[in-house]
């Protein structure tokens, strides 16, 4: 049988693409599994997103990721949405199914898979800091996974209340808004604490969540979405108080695992991707 010189194509569309390590992680998995697939990291400004999606269609891409600032606006260029993407109104992964491009969201799914290694959110009480795109995705997936109470802590009232209303109307969870105007005290009975903000993200590595650290208690699981650095100050503070911590690498890695499964049907080895990110960021478990 003659060798094919036509690789299958996947990739990512974002603005600020040079800072996105997903290409290194995903291509490491492709190589490990002997897949003739490329992942092309593309800088796409907002006004050219439609052209990029049409180009992906024309070139037969089997799917692509969308990062900031395209997670909402990409929807108008797709043919349909998966369940959680439809609820949260955001897409970070497009998947070719037949002749259609369907929008999925692996942000929350990746976070949930990482969190489940430490705790099952079913029946649990959650405090989540932030109300942006990552928080919307995580909040919806936590609710769909059975979390019973989700407190959204945010400085902006409108955005925070919008997320609370979404969770209360579209899921079975009970959500409430808490204004973040000073050091926030984690309520007694909280099982899971999530930082879904950018506080602590490189280069602001000294950034700290404005919370009452004494209210972090042993038995709580504290999770962060930040990848760089993997061990943020909130995780260090939580660990020092006996909490179980979940870093942002797991979320990113599991996003890759889920995306590769969508695009290829292959169950990618997450250790290959973690090793790659560990080398990039100098991280350790």
Rounded CA separation 65/95 (Å): 9
Rounded CA separation 170/165 (Å): 8
Whether 29 and 62 have beta carbons less than 8 Å apart is answered as: no
Work out whether strand 93-97 and strand 100-104 pair parallel, antiparallel, or are unpaired.
Answer: antiparallel
Can 71 be counted among the known catalytic residues?
yes
**CB contact set of 149 (below 8 Å; sequence gap of 6+):** 124, 125, 126, 173, 174, 175, 176
Rounded CA separation 162/177 (Å): 9
Rounded CA separation 277/258 (Å): 17
CA distances from 195 to 46, 81, 163, 190 (A): 27, 27, 15, 14
Exactly one of 71, 109, 113, 231 is catalytic; name it. 71
Whether 64 and 54 have beta carbons less than 8 Å apart is answered as: no
Q: Give the catalytic positions in this structure.
A: 71
């Amino acid at each position: 049988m003659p060798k094919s010189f036509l690789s299958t194509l996947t990739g990512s569309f974002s603005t600020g693409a040079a800072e996105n390590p997903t290409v290194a992680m995903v291509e490491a998995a492709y190589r490990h599994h002997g897949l003739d697939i490329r992942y092309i990291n593309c800088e796409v400004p907002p006004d050219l997103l439609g052209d990029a999606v049409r180009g992906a269609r024309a070139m037969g891409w089997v799917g692509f990721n969308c990062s900031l600032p395209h997670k909402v606006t990409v929807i108008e260029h797709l043919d349909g949405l998966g369940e959680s993407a439809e609820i949260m109104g955001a897409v970070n992964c497009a998947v070719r199914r037949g002749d259609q491009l369907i929008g999925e969201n692996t942000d929350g799914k990746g976070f949930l898979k990482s969190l489940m290694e430490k705790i099952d959110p079913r029946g649990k009480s959650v405090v989540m800091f932030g109300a942006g795109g990552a928080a919307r995705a995580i909040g919806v997936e936590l609710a769909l996974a059975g979390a019973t109470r989700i407190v959204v802590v945010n400085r902006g009232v409108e955005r925070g209340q919008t997320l609370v209303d979404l969770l209360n109307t579209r899921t079975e969870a009970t959500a409430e808004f808490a204004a973040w105007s000073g050091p926030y005290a984690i309520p007694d009975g909280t099982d899971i604490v999530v930082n879904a903000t950018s506080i602590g993200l490189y280069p602001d590595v000294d950034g700290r969540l404005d919370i009452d650290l004494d209210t972090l208690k042993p038995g709580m699981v504290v999770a962060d979405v930040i990848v760089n650095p993997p061990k943020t100050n909130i995780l260090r503070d939580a660990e020092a108080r006996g909490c179980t911590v979940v870093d942002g690498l797991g979320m990113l890695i599991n996003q890759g695992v889920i995306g590769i499964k969508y695009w290829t049907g292959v169950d990618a080895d997450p250790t290959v991707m973690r090793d790659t990110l560990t080398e990039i960021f100098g991280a350790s478990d």
